[in-house]
Amino acid sequence: MNYKTQMEAARKGIVTKELSRVAKDEGFTEQELLALVASGRIVIPANIRHKSLHPYGIGEGLRTKVNVNLGISGDCADYHAEMEKVRLAEKFGAESIMDLSNYGKTREFRKKLIEISLAMIGTVPIYDAIGYLEKDLKEITAQDFLRVIRSHAEEGVDFMTIHAGINRRVMEIFLRERRQMNIVSRGGSLIFAWMKMTGNENPFYEYYDELLDILREHDVTVSLGDALRPGSIADSTDASQIAELTEIGNLTERAWKQDVQVLVEGPGHMAMDEIAANMKIEKRICHGAPFYVLGPLVTDIAPGYDHITSAIGGAIAAANGADFLCYVTPAEHLRLPDLSDVKEGIIASKIAAHAADIAKGVKNARMADFQISEARRKLEWEDIFKLSLDGEKAKEYYESIPPEDRHSCSMCGKMCAVRTMNRILDGLDTKLR
């Protein structure tokens, strides 16, 4: 193999098996996809050691992908429950799973996840650093952080969130400007705290070239984390967010020079009227790199319903250029999500992604809608259930109050408009009694 990464292969005109699969799945020619991967506008996260992976492309012109967060925490170290979430995520079509484990047997859990999962696997190595190294945050060195990154890469992680953009220049802007919610990124807060306690530069920024060498060796995509993503709509599009994004734009180009693929992470909480502009700003400053957004959550008043506030923002974001949505569950801001929360979060994000794909004209995005509408016109209920995003729920609702006439539902009964039109157009009388 005379290439290290998918980007390097594309730049050499080599069609990898991963690129070939993505082209087939997305309806692109291999040559079209080669050009987009070579330029960085599409990434195919595919660690050479993730043998079970179904490769996916993220970026310009492709279907909007959805990521599911899960993992072990100190307050809920139930490995079986987290694996159930993995199976649920794959059942409902999540293309990516981020393991955010920060407690207990994180390495064993991660290795098992990579062994069995078809989805792309992402991590945030700084979450794992304290437990992995068995040191207090202040005692961890820059080389310690790099050691954890190498460990994740060697285990087969496809992409890693690295908060490299919050350097001393950006920190000065944050401290000067202040904001309502300060830093709400867990990784960002840890890096900020480490910098303040040690007086050192962000290790991921200072040793960025060494970090890229590790990622390139294993073809790990760097997901440039937004440490200063807004945690309330009052903080969105402020000087801190934009300052960090500017640094991330430079880091993107530096990664591309080493043939390392790049995702750029984005907000956060953001009012609806700011979302479209933010998508365009990111694409401009970060040179067309794929954009990975958490939400955005369009209001701060709905704890318990943030899968809805996120889906609204995610649909607007993806319709205006975002390529990758991180799901948000009803448990956001409140607790670790359970299975029910995970399902609600995935479904909400998948709806947002699909609606956006229709809006931006992704190839064949409307086909599923046409097929289910055909089944609805014919009142073919079993076909409707098969074609539904969550057919089990649709069938459960339909059968919970069974209609007298199977050619309708219990909402309208024999007054069903579809039934009436089918009968009249077939030359039959409509009978309401």
Binding site per annotation, positions for [4Fe-4S] cluster? 409, 412, 416
Measured in Å, how far apart are the chain's first and last C-alpha atoms?
73
- What's the CA gap between 97 and 250, in Å, rounded? 27
C-alpha distances (whole Å) from 139 to each of 56, 135, 144, 381, 426 are 38, 6, 9, 62, 79
Q: How many residues does the chain have?
A: 433
* Residue 146, CB-side half-sphere exposure with 13 Å CA sphere: 17
CB 284 within 8 A of CB 219: no
- Annotated binding residues: 69, 98, 127, 163, 185-187, 226-229, 265, 269, 292, 333, 409, 412, 416
| Binding-site entries for Zn(2+) | 269, 333
DSSP string, 303-356: TT-HHHHHHHHHHHHHHTT--EEE---TTTTTS---HHHHHHHHHHHHHHHHHH
Structure tokens, 342: 């995970």
- Three-state DSSP at 143 gives helix
Distance between CA atoms of residues 73 and 322, nearest Å: 29
Q: Residue 303: name the closest of 339, 281, 270, 328 by CA.
A: 328
Q: Tell me the C-alpha distance between 257 and 253, whole Å.
A: 6
Buried-state track 239-269, b at ≥16 Cβ within 10 A, e below 16: ebbebbbbbbbebbeebbebbbbbbbbbbbb
Q: List residues forming the annotated binding site for substrate.
A: 69, 98, 127, 163, 185-187, 226-229, 265, 292
Q: Where are the alpha helices (DSSP H) in 156-285?
A: 168-177, 186-198, 203-206, 208-218, 239-257, 272-285
d(CA 134, CA 183): 25
CB 313 within 8 A of CB 55: no
Contact 30, 23 (CB under 8 A): yes
Any idea which residue has 């925490």 for tokens?
73
For tokens 């609806």, the residue is: 272
The contacts of residue 313 (CB under 8 Å, 6+ apart) are: 270, 272, 275, 293, 295, 296, 297, 298
